[in-house]
Structure 1
Amino acid sequence: MTGTRRREVEPARPAADGRSTRWNGHKARRRADMLDAALTVIEDNGTEISVQQIADRLHVPRPVVYRHFDGRADLDDAIRRHILDALLAELLPRLSPDGTVRDAVRGAVGTYVGWVARHPNLHRFLSAGDPPGDAALAGARDRIGGRLADLFADALERFGIDRNRARPMAFGMVGFVDGVVNSWRAVPTLNSEQVEGILTESVLSLLEGNARSLDVPLSRDTVVAELLSRTEAARA
């Protein structure tokens, strides 16, 4: 027949094998269990750990651990990412504009310093090895710096200031805090409360200095929610 086209019928796709899906879930859980065990071994024994120690912790043969990772380098990288996930789960919720500026800074800085103080071996493992976990660490800094940059940018925009000014401020603060903490852990002559106090005051000074240079009425005792509401009312 002219003027008509024969409709092509796509071949039916094979249904997913339920057994395969269940097996994939089992492998993911076993991999997570191995990473949890690795973190416990590092906490108890330091950064120089063996695959055998992880296997012993799980009561499985050593080859079973390697079955879930593509060699020792892949295992170490997965451990670093697992450590960073644990840190970020505590830290990211604190990067919020609650209370005064001082409260927000003290909460974020205190959470980070406190985590490092409680888990010194996990923190050391992040930069241990050859090569160290640069990609994983860079990813964590990007997430933290990006969250801060978004907060700063939203605040600046309310004052009619270019959002792009926020990113250098945010990442500069992240780099500063990270550098101080790394130096402290290498030569721990101060306790965690002293380091937290130094970092809190330093970050507050950076915020206040940048705010003055941009004519933003912000101080360490400013209630963030009130500042933002006043700005919204002025723009209405």
Structure 2
Amino acid sequence: MEPVTADAPAAAVAPRPDGRRTRWAEHRRARREELVTAALRAITTHGAGLGMDELAAAAGTSKTVLYRHFADKEDLYLAVARRVNRLIVRELRSAVERAGSPREALAGIVTTYLGLVEADPEVYRFVVSHPFGATARDPERDPVQRLTRALADETARTLTAHLRAAGAADSSADALAHGLVALIRSAADRWISTPGRIGAAEMSAALTDLAWGGLDAVLGATTTPTRPQTEEVP
């Protein structure tokens, strides 16, 4: 071993984390989440048509404070939409995990989606209407497109697992899942905007019958309750 001399370079020392900067970043993150929660409450109470001034007042703060934590109107909209999307996807996954057959999986997706729409229709309208002039300039950032893809991916994953367990062909599952999601979303949008609409349970049953009739005819899938070995959700 070579001796260490006085001329040997000193070992590199990793910089110590700035505790104040870390605490400030965490504070800002927590404050953003609080403001998103306040915005959701305001939308639920006062409707999807709130402007920034009305939304800030209903949330008990000022527009200036909102702009300290959100770059612009679209940034706030995207933060609200991401929160809603996470809730919907989490509830969908929970529903389909309980399904014992392809039809039950489809019914779980339809029932959960319509139930969440009915539970807070103003928040749903806020997300799907792109308020504040928010646009889909970047499809990867558009929360409505992301939600549609998440719904379709979850539907395809679930149907594929169930259809494999039932011994049916699954090569068309992804394309059919996207078609089903388009059907479900269009029906939900129209239903939630209809005066004197029927309840979510009745609508879910009718929409499930409609969707399953076509899916069963195309895939020839069995409705025998067979619990599949579901793929792990990333």
Instruction: List runs of 5+ in structure 2 lacking aligned partners.
Output: 1-7, 230-234
Q: Which residue of 2 aligns with 1:64?
A: 65
Aligned to 1:144, the other structure's residue is in SS state: helix
- Which position in structure 1 is the counterpart of 2:152? 145
Residue of structure 1 in register with 2:192 after alignment: 185
Question: What is residue 5 of structure 2 aligned with on the other side?
Answer: none
State the partner residue of 1:23.
Answer: 24
Aligned-partner residue type, residue 224 of structure 1: T
Amino acid of the structure 2 residue aligned with 1:223 = P
Alignment of structure 1 residues 123-142 onto 2, 5 Å? 123-128=124-129, 129=131, 130-131=133-134, 135-142=142-149
Q: Is this contact kept in 1: 2:92–2:113, CA < 8 A? A: yes
Give the paired residue count. Answer: 214
Residue equivalent to 1:200: 208
Query: After superposition, what is the alpha-carbon deviation per residue over 1:17-40, rounded to whole angstroms, capped at 9, x for unaligned?
Result: 111111111111100000000010
In the superposition, the TM-score normalised over structure 1's length comes to 0.78
Look up the match of 1:36. Answer: 37
Q: CA deviation at 1:137?
A: 1.1
Is the 1:97–1:224 contact (alpha carbons within 8 Å) kept by the matching residues of 2?
Answer: no
CA distance in 2 between counterparts of 1:26 and 1:70 reads: 17
How many Å separate the matches in 2 of 1:60 and 1:155? Answer: 49
d(CA) in 2 for partners of 1:98 and 1:8? 64
Instruction: Give the structure 2 partner of residue 95 of structure 1.
Output: 96
Alpha-carbon displacement from aligned partner over 1:189-233 (angstroms, at most 9, x marks no partner) = 531233112111112213311232xxx4x02xx1122xx58xxxx
Please list every run of 5 or more consecutive structure 1 residues that lacks an aligned counterpart in the other structure.
1-6, 230-236
